[in-house]
Amino acid sequence: MNLQPDFERLRKTVRHEEPDRVPLCEVLIEYPIQGKFLGRQVTQDDLGSQVEFWARAGYDFIPLTVGMMSPGKVTQESSISRVIRETMLKDSPDSRDDKAWNLEYTSFIKTREDFEKFPWELASQLDFSKFHQVKDLLPDGMKVIAVSGKIFTLTWMLMGFNHFAMSLIMDEQLVADVFSKVAEIQFQGLEAILKMPYVGAVWVVDDLAFGNGPMISPQAFGDHVFPWYREMAARCHQKDLLFFMHTDGDVMPLMEDLIQMGLDVLQPIDPTCMDIVKVKEMYGDRLTLVGNVPNELLRSGAPAEVEQYVKNLIAQVAPGGGYCVGSGNSVPEWANFDNFMAMREAALKYGGYPIKR
Amino acid sequence: MNRSIEQIKEAVVAGKHKEIVGLVETAVKDQIDLNSIINEGLIEAMDIVGRKFGTGEIYVPEMLVAAATMKKGLAVIQPLLKGAASQPKGTVIMCTVKGDLHDIGKNLVIMMLEGAGFRVIDLGVDLSAEKLVDQVVEIKPEVLGLSALLTTTMPEMQRVIAAFQERGLRGSIKIMVGGAPVDAKFAAKIGADGYGKDAGEAVQLAKRLIGVH
């Protein structure tokens, strides 16, 4: 099976055509898994090894983060955490205590005054160094997918979820203003990456739903979140870039909105609460689906079970294009490496077009 | 049902936080029985809110504002209550288990339990089994609610239950579990007393576990 990176493979799938094989696709594979694959340690700063991993493992792109928050360790490794630690808590005795700055524990914008004094200017200083470094490392056919977004997640994290949710009804203007500021910064990042010809897509990573449905009403998403993503999708399409979204949870009540806003690809079709076959039947002609191999299976299953799962998945949703094999979220370090390999190898073994049922 | 109580109930369900205090004050002035205002107005309203959330008719923001509205109404009445009438339905300790920092679900359950008339002690996130046992010994709640978002922290729930067994305290506490990766089968397997799939169900479960309505 052809392992040569070819971003056109992915583009063809998104056009609902059948390329040579079903593409592999992940928004995040943690460094220890990459290291096991390459047989040597891979670190956050070792971009050469990261590119080598994604290319040799059969992916057509490498995902690189631009924005205030990265997927995975969302608050620990993100620029927004650095800004909070280095400015807001600079003189505080609590600055060494992660409960004082980590947005998983705390929040900073409760009032209009908090909003006004938040260091937005510093938060908007995004780091593009990896994007500049990577262009000389990419093998032929491989592109970068810029991981961005988190407009919704970052807004509620800055405000604290309960406070955000209640303010959405009781102080809607404050919420709208925080959304605007966060989106403005993400758009600055977007404008810079749209000028980079080796970027093939933008991947917004923003969890919109719990397992039992959307975190806020579809109406509230329509008022405050989707207009930003509609604009982002339009800017991407103007530059011939694809527009991806990652969201956990059951987003069935939001599917029409997501399609209407110009989404090309949805990942990971959360297997804990969504039926990918049903999603494919209902929306598969308008949207490409990625993922759905359960993380619990990758953690605790046997490689043979993973292989069978991927084989069935490909048979059910890959014919005609519009599907890429991937995990049900991302590939964390606690995934069993043999199961990651089984997922990947099954995709290569059973994913050649035309699909044999 | 009395029209004033009906209006109070409707105001909570609709999250009319600006109107609730006036409505409850009027009902009190009209000498409507305080327990009826609480039970048939405020608490019944939260039952409706829990059901609407469970069926996807409303979302978290609407549920939280309804709970906040209920609490504002209750705050008008509480100083007027004496003795047993002001006693909570029971005491519940809530927390996420060791290793899990995700507290959205736990906080929703707390709001709904408080709305239903429980006293809730929120121990926060990332609680070890040993610490939990110590806290339960000290606070003596009727129910302990454990929350986990991650499949990797689910086994910690079993450790908590084992810790109570080891200290000979399992019979003195009802343990309910919940969170995205948890289900009724898992709850039964680890020996929990019950599982709630969402905040509304958690309230019904807590009531059932200690035999109150």
Alpha-carbon span A318 to A320, nearest angstrom: 6
Please give the span between the terminal C-alpha atoms of chain B, in angstroms, as a whole number. 19
Give residue A31's Cα distance to chain centre. 16
Q: What is the pLDDT of residue A68?
A: 60
Is A299–B17 a contact, with Cβ atoms under 8 angstroms apart? no
Report the gap between the CA of B166 and the closest CA in chain A (Å). Answer: 28
Which one, of B160, B150, B143, lies nearest residue B203 by Cα? B143
Task: Give me the percent of chain A exceeding a pLDDT of 70.
Answer: 88
Does A38 contact B at CB distance below 8 Å? no
Say if CB A69 and CB A19 are below 8 A apart.
Answer: no
User: Where does the pLDDT of residue A173 fall: very low under 50, low under 70, confident under 90, or very high at 90 and above?
Assistant: very high
| Residue from B13, B19, B49, B59 whose CB has the most chain A CBs within 10 Å, to mutate | B59
Is A216–B61 a contact, with Cβ atoms under 8 angstroms apart? yes
- Chain A residues with beta carbon closer than 8 angstroms to that of B111: 162
Does B19 contact A at CB distance below 8 Å? no
Nearest to B180 among A211, A213, A253 (CB): A211
Domain B91-210, CATH 3.40.50.280 — does that match?
Answer: yes
Q: What is the pLDDT of residue B78?
A: 81
Alpha-carbon span B84 to A57, nearest angstrom: 68
Is A162–B180 a contact, with Cβ atoms under 8 angstroms apart? no
More confident residue, A18 or A185: A18
Q: What is the pLDDT of residue A290?
A: 98
**The token pair that represents A53 in the structure block:** 């991993």
Q: Please report the number of interchain residue pairs, chain A to chain B, with beta-carbon separation below 8 angstroms.
A: 54
Q: Which CATH architecture has domain B3-86?
A: Orthogonal Bundle (1.10)
- Chain B residues with beta carbon closer than 8 angstroms to that of A213: 56, 59
Does A213 contact B at CB distance below 8 Å? yes
Alpha-carbon span A95 to A102, nearest angstrom: 10
Q: How many CB atoms lie within 10 A of CB B193?
A: 18
Task: Give me the percent of chain B exceeding a pLDDT of 70.
Answer: 97
- Which residue has tokens 């929350």? B147
- pLDDT of A85 above 80: no
Q: What is the pLDDT of residue A172?
A: 95
Is residue A318 within a helix (H) or strand (E), and if so which, with residue range? none
ipTM for the complex? 0.84
Report the gap between the CA of B108 and the closest CA in chain A (Å). Answer: 8
Range picked from A139-153, B14-28, B36-50 for highest mean pLDDT: B14-28
- pLDDT of A95 above 70: no
Q: Look at residue B151 and give its three-state secondary structure.
A: coil
Which one, of A25, A27, A117, lies nearest residue A65 by Cα? A27
**Dihedral sign from CA coordinates of B60, B64, B66, B70:** positive
Which one, of A268, A274, A265, A329, lies nearest residue A298 by Cα? A329
**The token pair that represents A1 in the structure block:** 């099976």
**The token pair that represents A311 in the structure block:** 């084989």
Chain A residue nearest residue B57, CA to CA: A217
Q: Look at residue A201 and give its three-state secondary structure.
A: strand
| Residue from B60, B107, B122 whose CB has the most chain A CBs within 10 Å, to mutate | B60
**Dihedral sign from CA coordinates of B206, B210, B212, B213:** positive
Alpha-carbon span B89 to B72, nearest angstrom: 18
User: Where does the pLDDT of residue B107 fall: very low under 50, low under 70, confident under 90, or very high at 90 and above?
Assistant: confident
- Chain A residues with beta carbon closer than 8 angstroms to that of B104: 161-162, 210
Q: For the whole model, what pTM was predicted?
A: 0.85
Is B59–A220 a contact, with Cβ atoms under 8 angstroms apart? yes
Report the gap between the CA of B7 and the closest CA in chain A (Å). Answer: 20
Task: Check whether the bond before A268 is cis (ω within 30° of 0).
Answer: yes
Q: What is the pLDDT of residue B192?
A: 96
Chain A residue nearest residue B15, CA to CA: A169
- Chain B residues with beta carbon closer than 8 angstroms to that of A211: 180
Alpha-carbon span A214 to A220, nearest angstrom: 10
Task: List the domain boundaries for chain B.
Answer: 3-86, 91-210
Say if CB A289 and CB A301 are below 8 A apart.
Answer: no
Alpha-carbon span B102 to A167, nearest angstrom: 20
Is A272–B180 a contact, with Cβ atoms under 8 angstroms apart? yes
Say if CB A293 and CB A343 are below 8 A apart.
Answer: yes
**Dihedral sign from CA coordinates of B169, B175, B180, B183:** positive
**The token pair that represents A60 in the structure block:** 């057509």
At residue A162, what are phi and psi to the nearest 5 degrees?
-60, -45
